[in-house]
Amino acid sequence: MNTLELSPSQADLSGPTANDSTAPEGLVFHYADEAKPLATPWQVAVERAKMVRKCGLPGGAILDPACGSGIQLAAYCAMISREGFGIEMDESTAKAANSNLRRVAEHGFGQSLLSSTIKIGDGTIGEYEQKFAMLHLDPARPRNSRTHGLDEMAPRLPEIFEAWKDALNHGERGPAILLDLSPRLDNSQRLEVEEIVESFWPNIGKTWVWTSRGRGRVDRLSLWVGQLSTPGISRRFVRIPPDFKDKPLIIEGDFEEISEHRRPPRKGEHVSILDAALVESGLALHFLRDLIPGQEITWSIIDGRRPQIHHSQPIIFENKQEKMLVQATGRIVKLVHSELSLETISHLVEASRDYGFGKLTLRVALEPQLQPKLQGSLDRQLFSKGGEHVGFVAKQPHDSMLLLCLETQ
């Protein structure tokens, strides 16, 4: 493997590129052979860089010792107007990163990108006299891993910290470090990460950040350390909107445990299905206190893709950002005692006739191969009846009773 430094101003732009639907028109990104293109969407990288910009970085360049194809590093350089220093062991990936910095620079994002450096080499070797404003690390994880444990990361956190600890300039809250980790890390693994950080910087501030682009899943989990942490805030949830022009919805606070209750829902109550990523972050109660203040909330489902609550009054959304975190909300108009199967779907159709439903979405846990068949059958039968109302079907775990809900908002 060659060990050399690349300059974005001299980057080769002839390699393979991929379009990113979240990037400005005309901006494409390079990727290495056999690599997964666009692992970090441009919109996510930019929004993260904007949040870092607000943290008051000390002087110096942005260090990324495992920069991959360089999209996040390019976003930092563009949004913060700092030079970047990226290191990547794989030569073809490093060249793709170098090309990406030039692509972003030529799209009008500033000279700092062309003045940056991409080095082909080992990011765990920190033999440089240069001082850096912040450290960003996104360790590689095996694609087929189910746990994404800390021992599977490459490079490992202690190796990076040992190599670069003395090269980081400090702000008033210490060095600025952002660890981009697997969203599959459980609570014990997150505590293990904190312990590693503490072993190098005792009592340093730490804020965990869950980032979601929707679809009920966490797309990124990161730990913001030192100058990047928010005093008094241990957790932050960031929902990236589908429209690049809109600002993200940000919820901050500390973990609050949800108490699950098992009581039968009542006709006339309201059912809301929340964004699963929000619930996973532990900040759902913070969101709900502002969304439906003063209402008693009954949680019927906490885990899985469709966390579900019951409440007495409808939700009045103040803006479309709030609506992003509610998959569906509606009033229970009928309780249907029936299983869901191809043989019994007609029972649901019959029950919906009195309420003029023309569209019902099945928002219940079903076998993957069964769900499209049931939804398709339901769509066809309701369409033939020509109803105007829109609703959804929900249910509680271990209960055959279906909740027929008329959508609100």
The CA distance from 23 to 205, in Å, is 33
Cis amide prior to 155 (ω within 30 degrees): yes
Which alpha helices (H) appear in 171-303, and where do they start and end? 187-200, 276-281, 284-291
Please answer whether residues 228 and 58 qualify as being in contact, where contact means their C-beta atoms are separated by less than 8 angstroms. no
The CA distance from 13 to 29, in Å, is 10
Which one-letter DSSP state was computed for residue 260? B
pLDDT digits (tens, 9 = 90+) for 324-370: 999 999 999 999 998 899 999 998 999 988 899 999 999 998 999 99
Query: What residues contact residue 180 under an 8 Å CB cut-off, 6+ apart?
Result: 72, 136, 137, 138, 139, 220, 222
Which one-letter DSSP state was computed for residue 332? E
The CA distance from 253 to 386, in Å, is 46
Helix 157-164 and helix 187-200, axial crossing angle in degrees, nearest 10: 20
Domains of the chain as residue ranges with CATH: 4-253 (3.40.50.150), 270-407 (3.30.2130)
Residue 181's CB: how many other CB atoms inside 10 A?
Answer: 22
- The pair of structure tokens assigned to 226 is 């030192």
State the virtual CA torsion across 11, 15, 18, 20 in degrees, nearest 10.
Answer: 0
- The pair of structure tokens assigned to 21 is 């639907």
Q: Is the entire prediction scored with pTM above 0.85?
A: yes
φ, ψ of residue 229 to 5 degrees: the values are -75, 160
Task: Give residue 3's pLDDT.
Answer: 56
Pairing of strands 249-253, 235-239: antiparallel
- The pair of structure tokens assigned to 149 is 């444990």
Which alpha helices (H) appear in 179-253, and where do they start and end? 187-200
The CA distance from 245 to 320, in Å, is 13
Please give the full DSSP string across 135-182, using - where no structure is assigned.
Answer: EEE--B--TT-SS--GGG-BS-HHHHHHHHGGGB-EETTEEEEEEEE-
φ, ψ of residue 197 to 5 degrees: the values are -60, -45
Which one-letter DSSP state was computed for residue 93? H
- The pair of structure tokens assigned to 119 is 């080095």
Helix 71-80 and helix 42-53, axial crossing angle in degrees, nearest 10: 40
Task: Say whether 83 sits in a helix, a strand or coil.
Answer: coil
Dihedral angle sign, alpha carbons of residues 15, 121, 57, 283: positive
pLDDT digits (tens, 9 = 90+) for 231-244: 999 999 999 998 88
Residue 360 burial class via C-beta count within 10 angstroms: exposed 0-12, middle 13-18, buried 19 and up? buried
The CA distance from 176 to 169, in Å, is 8
Please answer whether residues 32 and 92 qualify as being in contact, where contact means their C-beta atoms are separated by less than 8 angstroms. yes
Task: Give residue 13's pLDDT.
Answer: 95
Please answer whether residues 168 and 196 qualify as being in contact, where contact means their C-beta atoms are separated by less than 8 angstroms. no
pLDDT along the chain (409 residues), means of 10: 81 92 93 74 96 97 96 97 96 96 94 96 90 96 71 93 97 98 93 98 98 89 98 96 90 91 85 96 96 92 92 92 94 92 91 90 93 94 87 89 91
Task: Give residue 96's pLDDT.
Answer: 96
